[in-house]
Amino acid sequence: MQGTGFEVVMNILEQLHRPDFKPSKSDRLLMSYLIESAAEAVHLPISEIAQNSGVAEATVTRFVRKLGLSNLSEFKMALAGALTDTSQRYIINPDITTTEPVMVTARKLLDANIGMLEKTLHCLDGDSIDKSSMLLLRARRIYFIGMGNSGYMANDSSYKFFRIGLDCQGTDNSHTMMMMAALLKKGDLVVVISHSGETQEVIKTVELAKQNGAAIIVITANRASYLVEMADAAVLYKAQETLLETGSISVKLAQFFIMDLIYTQVVKAMADMAAENKRLTTQAVGLLRSDKI
């Protein structure tokens, strides 16, 4: 049991996305249904919830107890309350009001982002960071992948590591991801950046990459993700998005922080070579600004 019933009631929607326990495959089916059809589920009996999600009634009962609640009725009351609160949801941050001065808002956003980075730091596993850096150092070829805003991070990270001499490529295109995965071999590495950990194009790419012998690093906020289960190294961070915050700066900051930390560990392990390669690449780019090549 995770925490008190009151604590679970207060964060029931977060628990459905990122539970504090390792969910089974049946749990994931149930979670997916509850996330997509929460407004419907609060009015249904256990038999229909089980049928609609494709699981047994016993799975529903066990899942509710894993959340720290005593029965389904208590769970549905908590979910209904959370949905009511969400319908009156704040725009960006619960502390920000529509009438406050811009500099007051600026301070609140800064404090919120600093707090998020502190939470990420506290949840970091140093062994996962070290293992990730070693996988990068040993890899023959490295592919950074992600969709949407995480795709931007994948491309930026690829460029960052390429500048110090690692054989890298980044992509946010699902077709390119799958073609790349089809050609991977043992010794290759895929670095997956996925905030939700549930993007199907990314999951299919990782499944094919694993099948072909590639190692996998996953960077996500979702500890219960199937991607984490498939990973050779998984690095978790803390960041949440509100209703109008898709692609929020807090998520990007957390991802930047993780990638910069792994990058720093890699540079520490190959300091002289990294410095020389960075000098050479910087010098090469500088030739574009001169008249001589």
* Residue range 1-37, pLDDT digits in tens: 344 444 444 477 778 878 888 889 999 999 988 888 8
Instruction: With H, G, I as helix, E, B as strand and everything else as coil, classify residue 139.
Output: coil
Q: Is 231 left (phi over 0), alpha (psi -120 to 50) or beta?
A: beta
Q: What is the pLDDT of residue 166?
A: 96
How many whole angstroms separate alpha carbon 161 and alpha carbon 169?
9
What class is the 5-87 domain?
mainly alpha
- Strands, E assignment, 68-167: 142-145
Neighbours of 94 (CB within 10 A): 11
**Domain segments of the chain: what residues?**
5-87, 111-287
Radius of gyration over alpha carbons of the chain, in Å?
22
Query: Are 258 and 123 in contact, with CB atoms under 8 Å apart?
Result: no
Q: Which of 222, 239, 220 is nearest to 117 (CA)?
A: 239
Residue where the block lists tokens 């692609």: 247
Predicted TM-score (pTM) of this structure:
0.68
Residue-wise pLDDT for 93-142, tens only, equals: 556 677 778 998 888 888 878 888 888 898 899 999 999 999 999 999 99
Choices 3.30.70.1380, 3.40.50.10490, 2.40.70.10, 3.40.30.10: CATH for 111-287: 3.40.50.10490
Q: Which of 174, 147, 144, 172 is nearest to 160 (CA)?
A: 144
Q: What is the pLDDT of residue 94?
A: 57
The DSSP H or E segment spanning 236 is strand 233-236
Can you list the residues of the chain whose pLDDT is less than 50? 1-10, 87-91, 242-247
Query: Are 59 and 27 in contact, with CB atoms under 8 Å apart?
Result: yes
Q: What is the pLDDT of residue 292?
A: 56
